[in-house]
Structure 1
Amino acid sequence: MRIEATNQSRISTFAVPALCAGLLCFGSARSAPTDPGSSATATGDGALYDFNIEHLAADLSVSGDGELQPVPLIAAPELPPVASMADSCAEPLADDSMLERVRRRLAITACASSAWLDGLFGDQLRYDDYRATYGTVSLGTLWSQYDGVDPRLRFKLRLQLPQWDERISAFAGRVNRDEFISDSENDFDALPRRQFGSMAEDESVLVGLGYSSPRRNGNDFDVSVGVRVDLPLDPYVRTRWEMTRTFAESYVFSTRQSFFWQNSEGLGATTRLTLDRALSPWYLLRWSGLGKFTQETAGMEWNSQVTLFQSLNPRVGLAWQAELEGETDNEVQQTNRALRLIMRRQLNPEWLFLELRGGVEWPRRKLTEDREASAEVGIAFEMQFGPKRERNALSR
């Protein structure tokens, strides 16, 4: 007896016209088809399962004492060994440099992990989809007069799960836990930054699953659940809705509302508004405003930022940034002011990036503190592996 099962899903794509300057692509990056599975139309492959009539019963054999003993014939499906998964994920080396070998090993490990996890939901492994697994690894350090030296190692990885559902993906990363869960990450996250009066220090490894609406049409919805990989375990749930609109040819406006629950922080909500204005093919102006409330915060934490993106050439981009932030119920309501210049340069090979930051801040959290200038300097390297994706895709 043969049973045929077919799983089909169709995903269409919506993309707001990109407003780009050099390496910095901003056409409301949050509105682009950033989800795995939302960037193309995909149809699930039919899966054939063969059953023999004996599989529906038990074989009867005679034991030593003459009694009939049932012997089950249905065995659990076996997944290919990890070694064969890695071999199936392997691709030729572009060159024999140490960096290329490291990047290739990261890509193979990510692909094999995606195949192993997806293999739990079926036996029709799709390596073309698993090779679309993508991520970044960044290493950098920031020095400031106020906080001293702060080194950071971060990574983000998005795993494809086509056998389960094209709209579902798995996530793993070493990130700032509070910024990631509350959806308050900055456009540039390779280096740490002062947020709401204090330097973000809560770096954690998070793993989870995410669901995104199949069509990116300007009214988009996604949900994610996950846990911090540490004891005690700290689970979280987050849901987001985003609306994006273009108008007057050169404007893109987006609003995003997030609700989240974290075991250690309780309930919270974040509202983000973004307005982009294309000034020319080489300049883009962005204003973004953010308000966050949790059960653990004193009132509402807020942030307002103006950034001028400048393209110097196809490989180099600058970001001129001014920022204000504070807390409504803190004894000092405006906790920080900052001016920054950020340079992002594509190196050779093209998947390696250099990020430089220089600026000055004026932090003040307590009335007993004086608001004094604090210089900051930072450098970071970022390696991308897997297909090229917008960096914001990894936060979904």
Structure 2
Amino acid sequence: MNDNYKGFLLALLMVSATAHGATTAEGDADTGSTPPGEEEAPWLDTGHAYVVQRADNIARWMDNFFGVNRVEEEAPYSTLRLRLEHEWDEIDDHESDIKLRGKVYLPKLNKRLSLLFSDDDDGIETNDLIDKQDSPDDVALQYTAREKERYRIDFKVGLRSSLHPKASVRYRYEYPMTESLIGRFSEEVLYRGDDGFGSRTRLELDKILSDNKVLQWYNRVDWEEEESGIQWRTGLSLNRRLSDKRALGYFIGASGETSPYHLTENYGFGMRYRQNIYRPWLFIEVQPRYAWRKSYENPDREGAANILLRLEAVFTRDFGD
């Protein structure tokens, strides 16, 4: 992440926090976040219930604990994540990075408005075989146009790190197919000044196996105006809650693109272990992985071991109090 841009993000976050009367940041040892108190607005009650009141749902607990971006973007409270990462790869050697991701909920301006940092999710799932260290650093305003029990519509407008404008509209629908199976679909249409129009389609299924175990299947298809064909990825993960402060997951996955050739770029497997340490807001994570990779430049598929080490600070606040 560019140092000047990172400083801009931190300064912007501090200004937002001051403007909304921030007090001491607190975390939750069980989930890695402390949801705020109840609000009077019906739509806000619905959103808060969606994220918080279903905490007994192991799928929701897993998403919160592992820091799934979607959950934070839809929550009516503010979150800041600072990640220190070091990755070793058998082919690409070592690489380190500092990542800042956050959301400032802005109820004093509008209860449907939030400010997002690095919101441009570049296809990085929490258990991807290849964690992209050079993910873009963006700033955007998010406006929740409509929110019901099962669906939600959001508009975003902002700037990319290249200072090109961006805008998008996203529809998300979630449906409990059975008591132990949850389906989730989302479609986002976007425009980015340097890349043109594009779309992101997601389909996810969460199968609750027990009070402490969930099987998750995710699928994603991306299309961009400047690129021929589409990019796709799919994965299956088995996550287990070991305690209120520890979780373990196993995953397999694959990714590729359809043009100019039908190419499966990566497939492989891995595991991840995450634990809350010392303070409610501090986490460590280890992800050993093995993937077989192929590209147009290197048509011979190569197998490579990879390990990602992560230290993460998570601060969750209600700036609306």
TM > 0.5 fold call: yes
For the residue of structure 1 that corresponds to 2:50, the secondary structure is: coil
Deviation of 1:137 after TM superposition, in Å, equals: 0.5
Q: After superposition, where does 1:177-196 map in structure 2 within 5 Å?
A: 177=120, 179=122, 184-187=123-126, 194=130
CA-to-aligned-CA distance 1:141-197 (integer Å, 9 cap, x gap):
111112221212111222232232110111224x7x561xxxx331358xxx63xxx
Contact in 2 for aligned 1:298/1:327 (Cα 8 Å) = no
Contact in 2 for aligned 1:268/1:293 (Cα 8 Å) = yes
Contact in 2 for aligned 1:332/1:365 (Cα 8 Å) = no
Equivalent position of 1:35 in the other structure: 74
Q: After superposition, where does 1:144-183 map in structure 2 within 5 Å?
A: 144-173=89-118, 177=120, 179=122
Q: Flag as ranges the 4+ runs of structure 1 deviating above 4 A.
A: 29-34
Deviation of 1:228 after TM superposition, in Å, equals: 2.2
Deviation of 1:32 after TM superposition, in Å, equals: 6.0
Q: Distance in 1 between matches of 2:312 and 2:103?
A: 16
1:139 to 84, 101, 105: 84
Mapped pair 1:281 → 2:211 = yes
Q: After superposition, where does 1:183-262 map in structure 2 within 5 Å?
A: 184-187=123-126, 194=130, 200-213=132-145, 215-230=147-162, 233-262=163-192
Equivalent position of 2:237 in the other structure: 307
Contact in 1 for aligned 2:145/2:155 (Cα 8 Å) = no
Q: Distance in 1 between matches of 2:198 and 2:186?
A: 14
Equivalent position of 1:117 in the other structure: none
Deviation of 1:205 after TM superposition, in Å, equals: 3.0
1:335 alignment partner AA: E
Deviation of 1:373 after TM superposition, in Å, equals: 1.1
TM-score normalised by structure 2 residue count: 0.76
Equivalent position of 2:14 in the other structure: none
Deviation of 1:293 after TM superposition, in Å, equals: 0.6
Deviation of 1:234 after TM superposition, in Å, equals: 1.2
1:156 alignment partner AA: R
Mapped pair 1:296 → 2:226 = yes
Q: Distance in 2 between matches of 1:268 and 1:237?
A: 11
- Distance 1:151-1:292 versus aligned 2 partners, 3 A rule: same
TM-score normalised by structure 1 residue count: 0.62
- Distance 1:313-1:147 versus aligned 2 partners, 3 A rule: same
Across the aligned residues of Structure 1 and Structure 2, the Cα RMSD in angstroms comes to: 2.9
1:209 alignment partner AA: L
Equivalent position of 1:370 in the other structure: 300
Decide which structure has the larger Cα Rg and report it. Answer: 1
Q: Distance in 2 between matches of 1:188 and 1:387?
A: 26
* Long gaps (5+) in structure 2: 1-39
Amino-acid identity (%) = 22
For the residue of structure 2 that corresponds to 1:246, the secondary structure is: strand
For the residue of structure 1 that corresponds to 2:317, the secondary structure is: coil
- Distance 1:226-1:33 versus aligned 2 partners, 3 A rule: closer
Q: Which moved more, 1:264-273 or 1:146-155?
A: 146-155
Deviation of 1:26 after TM superposition, in Å, equals: 6.6
CA-to-aligned-CA distance 1:257-298 (integer Å, 9 cap, x gap):
011110111100111000110111121001111111101223
Deviation of 1:367 after TM superposition, in Å, equals: 7.2
1:24 to 55, 62, 79: 62
Task: Considering Cα pairs closer than 8 Å and 6+ residues apart, tell me whether 1 or 2 has the greater RCO.
Answer: 2
1:344 to 274, 277, 284: 274
Q: Distance in 2 between matches of 1:188 and 1:356?
A: 11
- Distance 1:332-1:35 versus aligned 2 partners, 3 A rule: closer
Q: After superposition, where does 1:81-92 map in structure 2 within 5 Å?
A: none
- Distance 1:341-1:9 versus aligned 2 partners, 3 A rule: closer
Equivalent position of 1:393 in the other structure: none
Equivalent position of 2:34 in the other structure: none
Contact in 2 for aligned 1:23/1:316 (Cα 8 Å) = no
- Distance 1:185-1:201 versus aligned 2 partners, 3 A rule: closer
Q: Distance in 2 between matches of 1:328 and 1:310?
A: 34
Q: After superposition, where does 1:326-345 map in structure 2 within 5 Å?
A: 326-331=256-261, 333-345=263-275
1:361 to 291, 294, 302: 291
Deviation of 1:248 after TM superposition, in Å, equals: 1.9
- Distance 1:344-1:23 versus aligned 2 partners, 3 A rule: farther
1:379 alignment partner AA: L
Q: After superposition, where does 1:21-170 map in structure 2 within 5 Å?
A: 24-25=62-63, 35-37=74-76, 133-170=78-115
Contact in 1 for aligned 2:272/2:288 (Cα 8 Å) = yes
Q: Distance in 1 between matches of 2:292 and 2:72?
A: 37
Deviation of 1:330 after TM superposition, in Å, equals: 3.8
CA-to-aligned-CA distance 1:117-150 (integer Å, 9 cap, x gap):
xxxxxxxxxxxxxxx5321111011111122212
- Distance 1:204-1:330 versus aligned 2 partners, 3 A rule: same
Deviation of 1:353 after TM superposition, in Å, equals: 0.4
CA-to-aligned-CA distance 1:338-384 (integer Å, 9 cap, x gap):
20111111111111000101010100012753212100011001101
